[in-house]
Amino acid sequence: MNQPHPLVAGNWKMNGLRVSVNEAENLAERLAGAGGISAEVMICPPALLIAQFCRELSSSGILIGGQDCHGESSGAHTGDIAAEMLKDAGASSVIVGHSERRADHGESSEEVCVKASAAHRAGLTAIICVGETQSQREKGQTLDVISEQLSGSIPHGTTAQNTVIAYEPVWAIGTGLTPTLDDVGEVHAHIRAQLSSALGQGDASAMRILYGGSVKPGNAAELMAVENVNGALVGGASLKAEDFWGIISVYAKS
Ligand code: PGA
């Protein structure tokens, strides 16, 4: 079976200035000194930093991604960024449907689906986020919510090559709280099973399913060891090279 190659992606959100490339360079040095990592490493900085990061980190092996894109390739959409523009700046991926965008900008799964499709059109990997709120978890609706978001957000043409799924419980983001390992395993297995009926077993088993929400150096090893967890989407702990390295090094070969 095609084992997914893990991915550890740092979502910087609305944090970072041009000088912050220093943190990324520090991370690149740690990676270079590590003697091999059995995972891909990505930073998704604010859009204005993408071109600079791609230039200055071009030989580091660190991939660069965007945090959102518009569904269309150009046009009268003030303030928006097309997937083609991210690609042109050097990005290889884009996060779509992060819960902060679903909440702050009222993005529906239908819109997320259009954005993911735009990412594919532009030749980017779409990192599609799903996750339940605290009250949905308390009401026992977690798996239903995930199913609905997943089926609504995955566009036609999705493959294991052009798409990554990130399970991020909304209540775990930035709070220091994480689900139990059993709960993480349950949701990831559920996502894998749903991908299998939607896309077929080949793509489903090869697709990366990341866990995100308060991943830290102290809990990364146990979370990454859960079955069907193929890496992490990391917010706060990706901003400092030392913390992010503490997570990535779970995949160090030596
Ligand atoms: P966090 O954020 O690691 O700060 O909880 C994760 C995310 O929102 O992607």
The protein residue whose alpha carbon is closest to atom 6 in ligand 1 is 235
Residue whose tokens read 């071009």:
58
Strands 209-212 and 163-167: parallel
- Ligand 1 center–CA 215 separation, angstroms: 7
- Ligand 1 center–CA 118 separation, angstroms: 24
Banded pLDDT at 254 (limits 50, 70, 90): low
Taking residues 110-133, report their average pLDDT. Answer: 98
Q: Rounded to whole angstroms, how far apart are CA atoms 81 and 87?
A: 11
What is the chain's mean pLDDT, rounded? Answer: 97
- Ligand 1 center–CA 220 separation, angstroms: 13
What's CA 123's distance to the chain center, in Å?
16
- For residue 7, report the phi and psi dihedrals to the nearest 5 degrees: -135, 130
The protein residue whose alpha carbon is closest to atom 1 in ligand 1 is 235
pLDDT digits (tens, 9 = 90+) for 24-34: 999 999 999 99
Q: Rounded to whole angstroms, how far apart are CA atoms 67 and 185?
A: 26
Best CA proximity match to 127, nearest among 91, 180, 103: 91
pTM: 0.98
The protein residue whose alpha carbon is closest to atom 9 in ligand 1 is 235
* DSSP conformational letter for 65: E
Q: Rounded to whole angstroms, how far apart are CA atoms 211 and 232?
A: 5
Q: Rounded to whole angstroms, how far apart are CA atoms 215 and 174?
A: 9
- Is the pLDDT at 134 greater than 90? The verdict is yes
Best CA proximity match to 251, nearest among 234, 226, 231, 236: 231
- Is the pLDDT at 162 greater than 80? The verdict is yes
* The ligand 1 atom nearest the CA atom of 173: 5
pLDDT digits (tens, 9 = 90+) for 60-118: 999 999 999 999 999 999 999 999 999 999 999 999 999 999 999 999 999 999 999 99
Residue 1 corresponds to which tokens in the numbers above?
Answer: 């079976």
Which residues are near ligand 1 (CB < 6 Å)? 11, 168, 173-174, 212-215, 233-237
- Ligand 1 center–CA 60 separation, angstroms: 24
